[in-house]
Amino acid sequence: MVNEKTAAAIYDTSAYKRSRFAYLCECGFEYFVTLLVTDSFLAYLLQKLGMSESLIGVVSSLISLAFLFELFTVLVVSKVKNIKRFVTVFHTASNLLFLSLFLIPFLPMSASVRVPVSILCILAAYFGNYFVTSMIYNWGNSFVAPGKRAEFSSVKEMVSLLGGFVLSIAFGFISGCYQKADNSDGWFLFSAMAILIFAICDFICLLLIQPPANAVTQTKAPQSGLKDAFHHTLGNKSFVHVVLLCCMWKFAMFFTIGFMGMYKNLLFGLVYAQIINNVGVLARFAFSKPLGRFSDKYSYAKGISLGFVFAAIAFGINIFSAPGAVTKWFVVIYVAFYSLCQAATNQNLLNISYNYVPKEYFVQASAIKNSLSGLVGFSASLLAGRLMTTIQNNGNTFFGIPVYGQQVLSACSFILVLLCLGFNVLVIQKQKTIGR
């Protein structure tokens, strides 16, 4: 009993509190950097660098597969002697590479050279980012009491969501001003300066997090061989079930969400579609902490089940959305419930590995799970894309029934989410855990 009290008391020490706060802020600054190197901001930069629309599409596809870089973590994590130094070097280098993208337009080189250089910078930056993602997560969470991980994860998400919400509006407005003035160079310099500030803050936060204590967390496996790592991950039946669940969920999710942006623009127009998206962000912000507490109280698995219920409602209602005075508003309900689903599933699907994998192998387990499920999700989006094209080529009909492709995709996702829910309730929730 004394040992348990001592172990619990360590989380209330000033060093652990400082490390938690620094990790919380670090996640926010990391997210702020990504805001400037994704979607329309990145597309605008690449276009100015001389890339064609088709090549920008190829680069975007490569970025969407960047999560596979996490697999390299499995090869090296057991050999890393100083996690803090290793993570700080790679993560900071990644941020600086993102920054360098906005400086390329000012370098004295032709477009034929700028294009391959920018692609190399992008891939190297994402490699550095994803390569240490699981390590940072495990390191930062080692200062969080096991019974409060879900709530802490929700607070961490809330910080990123609210900060990102404000900054995305501000960056969009500033970007628009520069574009109206036909001053792309000014926007690139502004973006580079913003990333530099965020990168410095990120770096300081990493320095403020104390090194992982072996008594609490150990990212280095006792046996460094890959065979041993795979034995405790993919050789672990309970963990394999978790990987299968994540793959099923990513397939169900990516089968529809990648096509909803165009659909919302069709139903409401660009301006109102963005307003609806922001309402979803605020809903996710408001319910993140209560959902985190629910998961801490009952279990990560039950938190995931609740998220799947929200997802089923979201995709189910979206089946009936269509242009019309009433039916188009079903998309708003979809956005609200899908946002709640994300709040309930995202962090729980990360934390649930703690229940089935020894802490020495959490990093490897997380990297394997994220990579495999991400690959399945990417494959689902390709398959759904073919189905969408078929429906559109047939004049928005499916088996002779007038319907939009997103309605059909939502019906498929609805069925798949129900399968996920059933598998989670009947298999995952009944598995014996090894702790939290």
Q: Which of 420, 365, 131, 19 is nearest to 253 (CA)?
A: 420
Those residues whose C-beta lies under 8 Å from the C-beta of residue 116, and which sit 6 or more positions away, are none
Distance between CA atoms of 324 and 407, rounded to whole angstroms?
14
Report, as an integer, the average pLDDT of 294-311: 95
- For residue 432, the SS3 value is coil
pLDDT at 6: 57
Q: For 37, which DSSP code?
A: T
For the chain, the average pLDDT equals 88
User: Residue 269: pLDDT above 80?
Assistant: no
Residue 434 has pLDDT above 90, yes or no: no
Q: Between 64 and 322, name the one with better pLDDT.
A: 322
Residue 345 in contact with residue 156, Cβ under 8 Å? Answer: no
Evaluated on CA atoms 257, 261, 265, 271, the torsion sign reads positive
Please tell me the total number of residues recorded for the chain in this structure: 436
The whole-number pLDDT of residue 97 equals 95
Amino acid at 176: G
3-state secondary structure of 402: strand
Going by pLDDT thresholds of 50, 70 and 90, the confidence category of residue 199 is: very high
Q: What is the pLDDT of residue 8?
A: 67
Among residues 82, 372, 403, the alpha carbon closest in space to that of 248 is found at 372
Residue 241 pLDDT > 60 = yes
436: how many CB neighbours lie within 10 A of its CB?
16
pLDDT tier at 67, thresholds 50, 70, 90: confident
Distance from CA of residue 61 to its chain's centroid? 16
CA nearest neighbour of 77 among 146, 133, 30, 144: 133
Q: Which helix (H) or strand (E) holds 404?
A: none
pLDDT bracket for residue 4 (50, 70, 90): low
**Minimum mean pLDDT among 51-65, 82-96, 185-199: which range?**
51-65
Choose between 227 and 7: higher pLDDT: 227
> Within 10 Å of residue 71's Cβ, how many Cβ atoms?
17
User: Is the pLDDT confidence value at 343 over 70?
Assistant: yes
Give the residue-averaged pLDDT of 347-365: 90
* Weakest mean pLDDT among 40-44, 152-156, 378-382: 40-44
Helix (H) or strand (E) holding 398: strand 397-398
Task: Spell 95-121 as b/e; 16+ CB within 10 A means b.
Answer: bbbbbbbbebbeeeeeeeebbeebbeb
The answer to pTM > 0.95 is no
Q: What is the DSSP secondary-structure string of 263-323?
A: HHHHHH-HHHHHHHHHHHHHHHHHHHHHHHHHHHHH-HHHHHHHHHHHHHHHHHHHTT--S
- Whole-number percent of the chain with pLDDT over 90: 54
State how far the Cα of 254 lies from the Cα of 65, in Å rounded to an integer.
13
- The CA distance from 103 to 192, in Å, is 7
DSSP state of 1: -
In the structure encoding, which two tokens stand for residue 44, read together? 């605008």
pLDDT tens, position by position, 205-239? 999 999 986 534 444 444 455 777 788 888 999 99
DSSP annotation of 108? S
Dist CA 433 CA 436 (whole Å): 8
The pLDDT score that the predictor gives to residue 435 is 63
Higher pLDDT, 226 or 38: 38
SS3 letters for 50-77?
CCCHHHHHHHHHHHHCHHHHHHHHHHHH
pLDDT of residue 217: 42
Q: For 180, phi and psi rounded to 5 degrees?
A: -65, -35
Q: d(Cα 180, Cα 412) in Å, to the nearest integer?
A: 42
Quote the pLDDT of residue 219: 44
In degrees and rounded to multiples of 5, residue 244 shows phi and psi of -60, -40
Terminal CA-CA length for the chain = 18
pLDDT for 271? 67
* Helix ranges (DSSP H) in 36-148: 39-48, 53-64, 71-76, 83-101, 111-131, 133-141
User: 51: exposed, middle or buried (C-beta count within 10 Å: 0-12, 13-18, 19+)?
Assistant: buried
Q: How confident is the model at residue 3 (pLDDT cuts 50, 70, 90)?
A: low
